[in-house]
Structure 1
Amino acid sequence: MICLDSSRPRATVPGAGTAAALTGRTEDLGAAVAALRGGTHVSVMLLGDSGIGKSTLMEAVVAELEPEVTPIRIHGSPSLTHVPYGVLGPFIVGLPVQEATSQLAVLRTLWSRLEEERRATGKPLLLIVDDAHDLDEATAGILVELAAAGWAKLLIGAAARPGLPEPLLQLWFEGIAERHDLRPLTQQQTTEMLELTLGTQVLPNVAELLWQASEGNPLLLNSLIDDAKHDGTLLQRNGVWLLTRPLNSHGDRLTDVVRRQLLRRSPEERQALNLVALAEPVSKELIEAVVGVQAVRALIDHELIRVTTASVPELRLRHSVYGDTLRNLISPARSLQLRQSLLRLMDKEPASAEGLLRQVSWSMECGAELADRQLLRAAMLASRLYQDDLARKAASLVKDPELQLAARSVVARTHYNASDYAVARDILEADFGKGHSVASLLTGTLLWAAVLSAQGHTPEDIMQRAEVLLTAGERLAREKPAEARRILAATKDRYATIRSMVLAMAGEGSGDRRPDPGAAPPGPPANHLDQAFRLSLESDRLLVEGKSVSAFAVAAEALTAAGAGHDELHFLTDFLVVRSSAAVIHAGNWRAAETLLARFAAGSGPSLISFGGGVHAARGVILLYQGKAAQALNALSAALESLRLADPQQLFGLTAAMAFAAAAEVGAREKAESFLADYEAVPPAGSRYLRGLAAMAVVYGKARLGNHPQAIAELRLLGRPDDGQNTAGLEFDALAFCLALGDPNAAPRLLELKPLLEGPRPAAICDYAAAISTDLAADHLAAAKSCEDAELWSFAALAYDAAANAFRAAGDALRERMAMSQRKRCLDRADNAPGQEPEGAEDALGLLTRRERDIVALAVRGLSDRRIAAELHVSIRTVEGHLYRSYAKLNIKGRDQLPGMAGD
């Protein structure tokens, strides 16, 4: 816990800044104000970690109560903690020295001073006690006496640890004080705070990473934001705030926070903090041996460091973001001295990956010698954690020629992370097929194939180039005849894996009728990676055929087959998540899609900067399919900005196409033209299904803009690229776009495809197609309900519109108006912000019985209750009862609010 000087002036920012500062605290604010206004409580206590927002909340409470009270401020001070009545010095300056330790004399003098203030304003006293954890017991006792006697009320802020002095706690135990333990901000609250501070266009991964780094602490969050904006890590592009690289946690503002904390610690405690920062996670016993048990215990008590629950207790900093700042404050000479003091007591290398990285990084900073294998291991770990600068630095120090090949592969991976494919290719091709052992020969080969795929090379081209690997294997087998069988088997397995990988990346090959030199072999998979890619290719085939639920199951199986620890193919999980997402989104299982994306994002950490754009793009496509074009446009345009920085899964083209469609849908012509230019500027990429979907979205967008008369014909062609193959999934998407453009001729073919399709989205759209074929009002209503259940709001609105037309043709004015009302509700639902419910969200038409609809219809025509009773041969009481129940179901108050009565 970092404790700041409470006497320092608190910055107050009007407007959005104030709202941002109180994010997540409005309930506490209301409760605190109410408690101090009431007669039950004499005190309100705000407790929490330093930087959690206690002082800000206290000032907000004072601002609310200022017209009603006389505020008097008292600040605790660590230098006066053991001085009786020390912080009350400004109030008791006239007290004789011989009476300075008398509680009665101090109380009398203090009260006299406070009473002067109260008489001057004529308002009750409110004592605002900040940093109350630093009060001495005597002062705390005096404040309790004032509150208990009803002379003043207390607003108290204190750190959760060490907590309040015993006399103040007694107020809470007696039930006359209200206590609020302030919690860290949630991820959602962090997002709200960022939107208030920066604006609404903040990439979700920005909020997530800042929340993780700050651990929900507002002070740390604001420090990280300011530092990231200052050094260019957080910047705004085309109105969108995004992170360009991992957060820098040693900027000026955060450094200032940490530096002030260090000034409060003893020399032994500062040494312990520095050692933990330099070596974390580090053995608790080891640090205690260097600095003493007392210093470590003090830091734990003040929550500056924490003890892990490992079998052997280890120490870490309480807030990980302090690490870089503390290390940056230590001179190289002092760092080397501290390292030597630890090494004398260490008998083994750190067991954890994080510990190894920290030790290697520390050693490099000190200029210490390190073994090549330790450097290479650290470089590989750092690249896996997207610590690219550390990975490159460690790899560059490897001297062993045989290990240098693996080190250069790590450097290539860091460039792949940043979508710098040309540099990655040059590094990998220089070493391809030149190793002198099986391990070195295979190193980087999968990444090499992935880079070529990202650059647009076809599977056939890549496999032709990959034959160099087979030739190199034969050469190595001749050089090492004793290992020949193993060498040839390993190179053939790797060749097979590369073939499965590039086919899976292209999403084509296994379903072709014609012979394909790159087609996956019919035999068993060479290894678990080969199996994962084969399953991914099968998932793509099923998706193209419309079996989206089956495709998702196979993609999930591929994720399981891939396993963990595939260091060289670090993007494999991302790749398979894209395939899984495509399947589940095509099916329209939105909850499963969100679960998949949320689970991936939660476990991604720094890779969200690299792959976060893909997560946001998937969410944007979901919104577009649901008919929420305006929201989709925001999500997709934000995702596109992220993908401009890094696009390891080649999703830029698809995202640009979907953004173009969304912009065209809402009539944002200038934005649409910009997105179309983005789409046309990159070569088609991704799987066969995703390439086809992107092309369809572009045709749809052009039609929406009114400048593509051949759109329907082109969409149909895109849906059936090869008459000899089953492409029901692609064709469904094409025909769904046709229906959205108002083409009724798509309906018959959709009904033919329906038995081949899986998932709630295809089922609902096919129900709409069936209603178009019969053109019966009842069928349109049923289709609308089906589309609502699938959360396809634009299609539901189309179905309700068709129902209204059918009712109009039948002369049923009431049902026509009710159908139009439901249409408007669906359109409103599509336009709502996430989490909002449109007004009149219930399906009122479905809630009314036949008799109620008949009676309401006559009432709409202006007939009195008596005339309705005579018309339908029922009693007036029956008419009144049906109308009363109808009003309740329609959520209206009377006859004058019935649909049609107000001219709507």
Structure 2
Amino acid sequence: MICLDSSKARAVAPAGGQPRVPTGRSDETRSAVEALQGGAHAAVLVLGDHGIGKSTLMEAVADGLGGQVTPVRLHGSPALRHVPYGVLAPFIVELPVEEATSQLAVLRVFWSYLEGERRTAGKPLLLVVDDAHDLDDATAGVLVELAAAGWAKLLVGAAARPGLPEPLLQLWFEGVAERHDLRPLSREQSAEVLAERLGPQVLPNVAEVLWEASAGNPLLLSCLVDDATSDGTLLQRNGVWLLSRALNSHGERLTDVVRRQLLRRSAAERTALNLVALAEPVSRSLIEAVVDEETVAGLIDQELLRVGDGPRAELRLWHTVYGDTLRNLISPARSLQLRQSLLRLMDREPVTAEGLLRQVSWSLECGVDVEDRQLLRAAVLASRLFEDDLARRAASHVKDPELKLTARSVIARTHYNTADHEAARDILEADFAKGQTVAGVLAGSLLWAAVLSALGHSPAEIMERAEALLRAGERLAAQNPDDAEGILTAVRDRVQTIGSMVLALAGEDAVEGGPDDAARSHGAGSDGASAGNHLEEAFRLALHAERLLVRGLPDSASSAAAAALAAAGADHDELYFLNDFLAVRAMTAAIHGGDWETAERLMGGFVAAYGPSLISFGGGVHTATGIILLYQGRSAEAKRTLRAALESLRVADPQQLFSVTAAMAFAAAADIGARDKAAGLLADYESARPAVSRYLRTLSEMAVVYGKARLDGSLGAAAEELDRLGQPDGGPRTAGLQFDALTFRLALGDLEAASRLRELKPGLQGRRAAAVCGYADALGSGDPGGQLDAAKACEAAGLWGFAAQAYGSAAAAYQAAGDTLRERMAASQRQRCRDRADSQDGAEADDEDSGLGLLTRRERDIVALAVRGLSDRQIAAELQVSVRTVEGHLYRSYAKLNIKGRDQLRQVAPD
């Protein structure tokens, strides 16, 4: 941690007189105010890292005391640290020179000044002492004397290292001071800071990336936000804040802060910090050999450097975000000089991936030649860590013609990271099957197939073009007869893997319900693939998982997806995104089955494990969250989340999730009557390239049909279209798709779907299917008690929309039976579920149409039927409510829409 400049303008209380409490510090602020108001404590001590918010907290405490005290501010200074009473000089100018070293004389004169301030204000004194770690002991002793005598109370802030001067620390040991050690902000607190600074529409992956980069340090967080907004890295699109690329950690504000703090360091300390920044992680003994042990130990003690946990005692900067900033401040000539001083002492190459990247990057910055294989290794590692600039730089310096093919495939990978599939394709197609070795022939071939899939090419077309690999293999085998068998086996394995991959990406055969190949999926080495071809097995399992999902077996699909992840292993060189692809399959199965806990656990694991890739792959996490919310019936929140996901996917969409996200966002907007937003989202869907997976394409089409029916009330046509989508090509074994289609129909109020759901129920898996089909069973029985049980089951499954429908059905059944008490109870429960489903946590102030956005979900349903020309009695029958309920909702709707009656509804709610 570089010593951050904690001096800043005094915090100002917001209008209205209420002091502003720093985010995440309310407990410390309240406790400190109470301690200074009471009689038991003479001082409050605030300690923490530089930039952690000590000064802000102290000003909040002073503001919290209001007009009860007279604050007098002192500020420690490194320049005066060894000058007795140096910071008190402005207050003791009348002191004779011969008495300048007398504590009693200094105390008397300083007290005289303070007493004058107290008399003028007529209030007790509060000495606010910032940067107390830079006070000399003599000044600290004077302050302690004032506090001990009860002449003033102290509010003291200091860096945790080197800490408080001994006299001030003694106050805490004696129990007359309250101490607060400030910790870094948590992830949630950092998100609150960003929401306060930027507004509520900040993508979760933005908050995650900024929290990780700042390590929860408020000043660093502020610097990163300022620099990222200035250079366009952090930008706002359609009201949503997102990251367009990796953070630039050498922006103007952060650089200025670090530069000013480096000036306070000795020459030896600056050399040590620069060496670690350029070479981290680097052996402690190497840095000690260049500078000295005492300097390194001091930097470690002050938490400027940290020692790794490994056996080699490697040094790193305490805050990793400072690395780029420091490197940017070092001139190329000085960098080369430092590199040579360190290389003279090194006896081996870096053993860690991070060390290799730093050494290669450092060499390129200095203009030093690097061996081709080391460049290629660094380029591959950098692309996997989404350090795309370094990956391109290293790959572009490779000179060997054969290695250059692999290097160019790495450059293509960096384009794939940002969803620039056309640029990736142009590079890969130019080199496809052109190498003179097996490695050269196969270089980039898996990524080539993935790129073509993303661009909409069918598996059959891709495999036809992949025959060029077989021909290249035959050419190489003829040229190298001694190795012919191995060459042909390697090439055939790769073609086999490509075949399985493109089928898995497209979900081919899954929707049609093709033959069950579970045994083949679990059998390594089948169809000519070698026994060690783990990728082949992983892709076959992924395709099998999608087949199971289509058949309505999400629990089994989850197990298959987990098996695919296990079969794939952890290390994939060329196909680095394989785990991301498989994780999406696993999340899809969990969401379809209503296993929200598993889905959220998978998403949490994705965020934790793929920090560097959150900018590229984070949109998919938001898509999954939004679909969960939509399935739960929480449409307002779903719309906001899915719209935010769309903005992230516009920047990078490596999993090709944009169209399904737009379709689900359209359905959510239609659900809450946001016509203008729905129109824009439908346009997004219609202009997007369809999802690669046929299952997701089908699900997207269903969501669009549902949304259109929500908006125009065309229930009959929607039911017919949804049935067609649930049984594509008339194929059998699509119970999962049929369940999706019938669930959308039931959500539209189409009670005919209930009988079909009852037929499907025995063959379906998952908590979501059990709850929805239980509701369908209860509708068929007509038993209000059974409908209540079904409503509770939907609640337990987190399906608030269907729970409200089930409670409504029960209320109608009780009303028909004349049981008024139970009717009211069921109606109350229905309203509670609606309130939960209609939670405005996800609403946007300017998001709804000026008319229908004012109505509740039930009011919109009734208005839509009224616009279609149904009478009050017909609406009551359609929605299974009383005529009086319909009349009441219409009356309230007229008032909200500022119209006089039914004849004006079409003007504000057209078909």
Name 1:695's counterpart in structure 2: 701
Deviation at 1:20, TM superposition (A): 8.6
Q: What secondary structure is seen at the aligned counterpart in 2 of 1:705?
A: helix
Within 5 Å, give how 1:572-587 maps onto structure 2: 572-587=578-593
Name 2:559's counterpart in structure 1: 553
Name 1:742's counterpart in structure 2: 749
Aligned-partner Cα distance in 2 for 1:583–1:173: 58
Name 2:189's counterpart in structure 1: 189
Name 1:840's counterpart in structure 2: none
Name 2:631's counterpart in structure 1: 625
1:596 equivalent in alignment to 2:602: yes
Aligned-partner Cα distance in 1 for 2:466–2:20: 56
Q: In 2 relative to 1, CA 749–8 (structure 1 residues): closer, same or farther, beyond 3 Å? A: closer
Deviation at 1:684, TM superposition (A): 2.1
Name 1:671's counterpart in structure 2: 677
Structure 2: which amino acid aligns with 1:765? V
Structure 2: which amino acid aligns with 1:729? G
Name 2:854's counterpart in structure 1: none
Name 1:793's counterpart in structure 2: 800
Within 5 Å, give how 1:6-17 maps onto structure 2: 9-10=9-10, 12=12, 14=14
Name 2:118's counterpart in structure 1: 118
Deviations for 1:407-430, whole angstroms, at most 9, x for unmatched residues?
000001011111111111111111
Name 1:99's counterpart in structure 2: 99
Aligned-partner Cα distance in 1 for 2:526–2:222: 57
Deviations for 1:688-714, whole angstroms, at most 9, x for unmatched residues?
221111110000000000164510111
Structure 2: which amino acid aligns with 1:290? V
Deviations for 1:700-746, whole angstroms, at most 9, x for unmatched residues?
00000016451011111111114342001111011000000011111
Question: 2:718 is matched with which residue: 711, 714, 735?
Answer: 711
Deviation at 1:510, TM superposition (A): 6.4
Q: In 2 relative to 1, CA 809–6 (structure 1 residues): closer, same or farther, beyond 3 Å? A: closer
Q: In 2 relative to 1, CA 80–655 (structure 1 residues): closer, same or farther, beyond 3 Å? A: same
Q: In 2 relative to 1, CA 82–628 (structure 1 residues): closer, same or farther, beyond 3 Å? A: same
Structure 1: which amino acid aligns with 2:57? L
Q: Sequence identity, in percent?
A: 68
1:451 equivalent in alignment to 2:457: no
Within 5 Å, give how 1:400-479 maps onto structure 2: 400-479=400-479
When structure 1 is superposed on structure 2, of 223-232 and 28-37 the one drifting more is 28-37
Aligned-partner Cα distance in 2 for 1:471–1:344: 50
Q: What secondary structure is seen at the aligned counterpart in 1 of 2:742?
A: helix
Q: What secondary structure is seen at the aligned counterpart in 2 of 1:312?
A: coil
Gaps of at least 5 residues in structure 2 are 844-911
1:267 equivalent in alignment to 2:267: yes
Deviation at 1:212, TM superposition (A): 0.2
Q: In 2 relative to 1, CA 180–670 (structure 1 residues): closer, same or farther, beyond 3 Å? A: same
Structure 2: which amino acid aligns with 1:434? K
1:756 equivalent in alignment to 2:763: yes
Structure 2: which amino acid aligns with 1:482? D
When structure 1 is superposed on structure 2, of 493-502 and 100-109 the one drifting more is 100-109
Aligned-partner Cα distance in 2 for 1:764–1:4: 56
Gaps of at least 5 residues in structure 1 are 837-904
Structure 2: which amino acid aligns with 1:805? A
Deviations for 1:127-163, whole angstroms, at most 9, x for unmatched residues?
1010011111111111111111111111010101111
Name 1:657's counterpart in structure 2: 663
Q: What secondary structure is seen at the aligned counterpart in 1 of 2:728?
A: coil
Aligned-partner Cα distance in 2 for 1:524–1:593: 36
Deviation at 1:309, TM superposition (A): 1.5
Deviations for 1:497-523, whole angstroms, at most 9, x for unmatched residues?
00000000011236857799xx99964
1:153 equivalent in alignment to 2:160: no
CA contact 2:456–2:692 (8 Å) conserved in 1: no
Aligned-partner Cα distance in 2 for 1:490–1:18: 72
Within 5 Å, give how 1:507-656 maps onto structure 2: 507-509=507-509, 523=527, 526=530, 527-656=533-662
CA contact 1:617–1:639 (8 Å) conserved in 2: yes
Structure 2: which amino acid aligns with 1:769? A
Name 1:63's counterpart in structure 2: 63
Structure 1: which amino acid aligns with 2:2? I
Deviation at 1:66, TM superposition (A): 3.3
Aligned-partner Cα distance in 2 for 1:834–1:562: 39
CA contact 1:16–1:197 (8 Å) conserved in 2: no
Within 5 Å, give how 1:192-341 maps onto structure 2: 192-341=192-341
Q: In 2 relative to 1, CA 812–743 (structure 1 residues): closer, same or farther, beyond 3 Å? A: same
Name 2:838's counterpart in structure 1: 831
Aligned-partner Cα distance in 1 for 2:812–2:116: 79
Aligned-partner Cα distance in 1 for 2:713–2:526: 47
Aligned-partner Cα distance in 2 for 1:514–1:155: 74
Q: What secondary structure is seen at the aligned counterpart in 2 of 1:235?
A: strand
Deviation at 1:198, TM superposition (A): 0.4
Deviations for 1:762-800, whole angstroms, at most 9, x for unmatched residues?
000001001110121101100000000001000000001
Deviations for 1:222-272, whole angstroms, at most 9, x for unmatched residues?
000000000000000011000000000000100011001100000111111
Deviations for 1:160-205, whole angstroms, at most 9, x for unmatched residues?
1111111111111111111111111111111111111001111100
Deviations for 1:643-668, whole angstroms, at most 9, x for unmatched residues?
11111111001000000000001111
TM-score normalised by L of structure 1 = 0.90
Deviation at 1:18, TM superposition (A): 10
Q: What secondary structure is seen at the aligned counterpart in 1 of 2:320?
A: coil
Aligned-partner Cα distance in 1 for 2:132–2:835: 51
Structure 1: which amino acid aligns with 2:95? L
Name 1:810's counterpart in structure 2: 817
Q: What secondary structure is seen at the aligned counterpart in 2 of 1:749?
A: helix
Structure 2: which amino acid aligns with 1:262? L
Deviation at 1:682, TM superposition (A): 2.1
Name 2:500's counterpart in structure 1: 500
CA contact 1:2–1:51 (8 Å) conserved in 2: no
Deviation at 1:67, TM superposition (A): 0.4
When structure 1 is superposed on structure 2, of 271-280 and 80-89 the one drifting more is 80-89
Deviation at 1:832, TM superposition (A): 3.0
Name 2:893's counterpart in structure 1: none
CA contact 2:6–2:51 (8 Å) conserved in 1: no
Aligned-partner Cα distance in 1 for 2:38–2:13: 29
CA contact 2:636–2:839 (8 Å) conserved in 1: no
Deviations for 1:361-408, whole angstroms, at most 9, x for unmatched residues?
111111111111111111111100111111111111111001100000
Q: What secondary structure is seen at the aligned counterpart in 2 of 1:39?
A: coil
Name 1:777's counterpart in structure 2: 784
Aligned-partner Cα distance in 2 for 1:513–1:766: 23
Aligned-partner Cα distance in 2 for 1:22–1:657: 40
Deviations for 1:35-86, whole angstroms, at most 9, x for unmatched residues?
1111111111111001000000111111111300011111111111111111
CA contact 2:510–2:695 (8 Å) conserved in 1: no
Aligned-partner Cα distance in 2 for 1:591–1:255: 43
CA contact 1:581–1:618 (8 Å) conserved in 2: yes
How many positions carry a matched residue from both structures?
Answer: 835
Deviation at 1:586, TM superposition (A): 0.5
Aligned-partner Cα distance in 1 for 2:514–2:223: 60
When structure 1 is superposed on structure 2, of 576-585 and 435-444 the one drifting more is 435-444
CA contact 2:49–2:159 (8 Å) conserved in 1: yes
Aligned-partner Cα distance in 2 for 1:777–1:510: 39
Structure 2: which amino acid aligns with 1:178? E
When structure 1 is superposed on structure 2, of 502-511 and 78-87 the one drifting more is 502-511
CA contact 2:54–2:182 (8 Å) conserved in 1: yes
Aligned-partner Cα distance in 2 for 1:631–1:326: 42
Q: In 2 relative to 1, CA 5–319 (structure 1 residues): closer, same or farther, beyond 3 Å? A: closer
CA contact 1:546–1:756 (8 Å) conserved in 2: yes
Aligned-partner Cα distance in 1 for 2:15–2:648: 30
Q: What secondary structure is seen at the aligned counterpart in 1 of 2:712?
A: coil
Aligned-partner Cα distance in 1 for 2:712–2:7: 65
Structure 1: which amino acid aligns with 2:256? D
Aligned-partner Cα distance in 1 for 2:18–2:229: 20
